[in-house]
């Protein structure tokens, strides 16, 4: 399974989803390939935001070695699922889709709600982590069940 997590900056939300799913997949003995990217270009090459690194560390997940990159068209070919954090990410990624198969790979990470952007609110990092962890556990359960 190859999964790409996408948000705007690729420094707050998607690095958490990337790190947590990678951690849980390993814990479950799954050889999944997880990555993350941003629709924006501002932070390319940077590590995740220090607040995301800290909250993940607090729950035993190390995301400090991740490096920010921008979403690119080839990601549609390289991943089975592309999970986006909010509706703006959804329209930005879908605007790049070339055909139905690309469109079919893209969905909101949470089923019917967004992951709020914590960039301007320090108090959101912990609740965002918890939302991300809950959904990652669900993804493992859903995708690890034989059809
Ligand atoms: P993220 O948060 O999309 O969760 O990584 C943001 C990070 C940086 C910016 C916006 C959102 N920014 O404008 O630089």
Structural domains in the chain plus CATH codes: 2-143 (3.40.50.2300)
Measured CA distances, 146 to 109, 130, 137 (Å): 21, 27, 16
Annotated active-site residue in 35, 68, 117, 136: 117
> Which helix (DSSP H) or strand (DSSP E) does residue 56 occupy?
helix 50-58
User: Has residue 146 got a pLDDT over 80?
Assistant: no
Secondary structure of residue 91 in the 3-state scheme = helix
User: Is 7 known to be catalytic?
Assistant: yes
pLDDT of residue 147: 57
The C-alpha angle 116, 120, 123, rounded to 5 degrees, equals 70
**pLDDT tens profile 84-130:** 999 999 999 999 999 999 999 999 999 889 999 999 999 999 999 99
- For ligand 1, atom 11, the nearest C-alpha belongs to 9
Pocket of ligand 1 (CB under 6 A): 7-13, 42, 117, 119
Ligand 1 atom closest to the CA of 15, numbered from 1: 5
**pLDDT tens profile 11-50:** 999 999 999 999 999 999 999 999 999 999 999 999 999 9
Q: Name the token pair of 114.
A: 């967004």
Model confidence, pTM = 0.97
Phi, psi of 140 (to 5 degrees): -60, -45
With CA atoms as reference, report the closest residue to 71 among 93, 48, 56.
93
């Amino acid at each position: 399974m190859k999964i790409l997590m996408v948000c705007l900056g690729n420094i707050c939300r998607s690095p958490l989803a990337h790190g947590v799913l990678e951690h849980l997949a390993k814990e479950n003995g799954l050889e999944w390939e997880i990555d993350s990217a941003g629709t924006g270009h501002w932070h390319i090459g940077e590590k995740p935001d220090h607040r995301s690194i800290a909250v993940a560390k607090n729950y035993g997940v190390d995301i400090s070695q991740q490096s920010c990159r921008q979403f690119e068209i080839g990601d549609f070919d390289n991943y089975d699922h592309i999970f986006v954090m909010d509706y703006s990410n959804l329209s930005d990624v879908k605007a790049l889709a070339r055909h139905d198969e690309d469109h079919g790979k893209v969905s909101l990470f949470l089923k019917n709600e967004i992951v709020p952007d914590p960039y301007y609110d320090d108090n959101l990092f912990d609740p965002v982590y918890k939302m991300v962890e809950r959904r990652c556990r669900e993804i493992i359960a859903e995708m690890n069940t034989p059809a």
